[in-house]
Amino acid sequence: MRGLLNTFLKPAEKQGRKFQNPVETHMAGPSMLPKVLKLYWANKDERVPRKALGPFTTDVRIYARPPVSGLRITWMGHSSLLIEIDGFTVLVDPVWDERASPLAGIGPKRFFPAPVRLDQLPPLDAVLISHDHYDHLGAKTIEELARLTRGGRTRWVTSLGVGRRLEDFGVEAGRIIELDWTYTARTGGDGDELAITALPARHFSGRGVFDRFGTLWSSFVLQGERHKVYYGADSGLWEGFAEIGRKHGPFDLTMLEIGAYNDLWKEIHMGPDGAAEAFAMLGGDGLLMPIHWGLFELAPQGWREPIERMVELADERGIKLWMPEPGVPTEVVKGEEMRVGWWR
């Protein structure tokens, strides 16, 4: 265990213009391409659903009534979420784009349409962007949200350097708050406040071949008056989860990625086994919500494999899972599991 003077939870470091991971992390290079192609060729699992999923539809009338529990989540698929927490509404890593790709007509395509239009969402206090990868920051989505929120109260909270991406897509510079690791943005006031704290994650950034590590990537704690949730975004398993749990937990709901994993890149994507271990390191309290699965083909595994393995692990280890159907605004009730097997 590291001492107080050697904490994992500290501001991000750079070498030259590149942000560094909180622990040593090996990244895939061009030499790994043949191995990846071989995996895709060899794996005959159903990587893309053969039958159309859904349609999933959000009953937006629900948003006119605040959640009785104080915490309600609408999972839009993958890592896109609408979080209603203690009177505040936050849209997280919104991707309504058809593809998670820089190229029109090429790249990972959505398995199902977004369950609600952006202009049907309730008023947003904040839009939270963890990092600039295409499956977390959709260009067309941001352009439309920028238009819809122009001149309003919405704040855009993101990691260092991502603000310029948002400006490129039309977001007003004065509404953007960039956070370094361990820093906090607050919205509200007079005792009614939401705190959003950026914390380290083990991943990387970039939207092109030559801009890796040029912007920061983060996980986040959202803390309201009564509830606290942890959004893990994208991360490989690392020992810093234990310190996050000790310093910022316990959490009512912990959101951890389970998809797009493989042993070749396990240091930047943890998969379901890593998520189970990370949840335990974070304290194992509350509910675990699997995210980052079920919408895009991003790795050579069957599209159902991540969630089925996660359920298996949860049953073995007594983990309480929280898995709503896409697009359904669902209240989080302390200690109560939510398991909807929509993928079956």
Burial 162-176 (b: 16+ CB within 10 A, else e): bbebbeebebeeebb
Q: What domain range includes position 219?
A: 45-339
Residue 171 maps to a domain: yes
Q: Is residue 37 part of a domain?
A: no
User: Could you tell me the CATH number of the domain that includes residue 130?
Assistant: 3.60.15.10
Q: Provide the 10 A C-beta neighbour count for residue 332.
A: 25
Structure tokens at 333: 């009730």
Residue 38 falls inside a structural domain: no
**Residue 280 placed within a domain:** yes
Quick one: residue 240, left, alpha or beta (phi over 0 = left, psi -120 to 50 = alpha)?
A: alpha
Q: Which long-range contacts (CB under 8 A, 24 or more apart) does 23-27 make?
A: 23/202, 23/238, 23/239, 23/240, 25/202, 25/204, 25/236, 25/267, 25/268, 26/267, 27/204, 27/212, 27/267, 27/268
* Residue 17 falls inside a structural domain: no
pLDDT of residue 4: 44
Q: How many domains does the chain have?
A: 1
Residue 277 lies in a domain: yes
Is residue 199 one of the residues assigned to a domain? yes
| 10-residue mean pLDDT series, the chain (344 residues) | 66 97 85 68 81 95 97 98 98 98 92 98 98 97 97 96 98 98 89 93 94 97 97 97 97 97 90 98 97 94 95 98 98 95 94
Is the residue at 2 inside a domain? no
The HSE-up count of residue 51 (CA atoms within 13 Å, CB side) is: 6
How many Å apart are CA 328 and CA 342, to the nearest integer? 12
Q: What is the pLDDT of residue 2?
A: 42
Helix (H) or strand (E) holding 230: strand 228-231
The CA distance from 22 to 2, in Å, is 13
pLDDT of residue 190: 66
pLDDT at 34: 74
